[in-house]
Amino acid sequence: MNTIPDQQQCEEHKNLEPLERIDGAYILKEIGGVLNFEKGVLYTIKELFLRPGKAVLEFILYDRKRLVKPIIFVIFSSLFFVITQQILGFNTGTTPENIQSPGVLKAFEWVGENFGVVNILLGFFIGLWTRLFFLNSKYNIYEIFILIFFTVGIGNLIFTFFGIVESITGFESYNFTYFVALAYSAWAIGNFFNKNKAMSYFKGLLAYVFGTTMGSFVIVLIGILIDVFNKIK
């Protein structure tokens, strides 16, 4: 007679240490682990605000368990931004005013609806420019992308915070918010590469500006191609 599946599984795993039972207490413990200040989301936010260069460097070289993974952090912060914006209805700034081209308008509307994906793509553009400005650094392109994704994630939270302030006060703050996010990104990038050199922060500033500008250019180009395709049809 064949051994029943449960017996087979027990025999295969009899030498393994059993894990904690998944129940209500376990779920609460896991949620607490994510939200505490020793590791997880809140710890990641705190460290990236206070010491971005050191936090990312430690993630790359020593400990990859305490910070949330960079891609997950970007997606989390993007979703948090989108959900908050949908509830409060503040200006996202993703769709420029006075656009005459239907295709370009449609492309920017898509950006607003797919903020998480767009932020990841935007991170690649900023990462490429960062690599160009820091060609002589000891960090490879993948490590630079880790830095940028963490930076973009904090940028999302900055936009979310000022969006909430805008909803409460009625004061449109998008342009100001962009400069705050720009200043943070320049500081975070410069702090990572060489916190003692002003040129490091200036390069970080240029990398962010050029990266976001290139991203906007690609969106406009896609919109123009949509217009051309519609005319051909």
The pLDDT tens digits for 59-85 are 999 988 888 889 889 888 988 988 888
Coil vs helix vs strand at 138:
coil
Q: What is the pLDDT of residues 99-133, one digit of tens each?
A: 777 888 888 878 777 776 788 888 999 999 999 99
pLDDT score for 6: 53
- List the structure tokens of 129: 């420019």
The Cα 210–Cα 129 span in angstroms is: 7
The Cα 149–Cα 164 span in angstroms is: 23
Q: Domain limits of the chain?
A: 51-232
Residue ranges of the chain with per-residue pLDDT less than 50: 1-5
Whether residue 195 contacts residue 53, with contact meaning beta carbons closer than 8 Å, is answered with yes
DSSP one-letter code for 195: T
Q: Which residues contact 210 (CB under 8 A, 6 or more apart)?
A: 126, 129
- List the structure tokens of 228: 């051309």
Residue 98 Ramachandran class (φ > 0 left, ψ -120 to 50 alpha, else beta): left
Q: Where are the alpha helices (DSSP H) in 69-197?
A: 70-88, 102-113, 115-133, 141-169, 174-194
pLDDT score for 109: 78
123-126 CB contacts, 8 Å cutoff, 24+ apart: 123/74, 123/148, 123/149, 123/152, 125/211, 125/212, 125/214, 125/215, 125/218, 126/151, 126/152, 126/185, 126/207, 126/208, 126/210, 126/211, 126/212
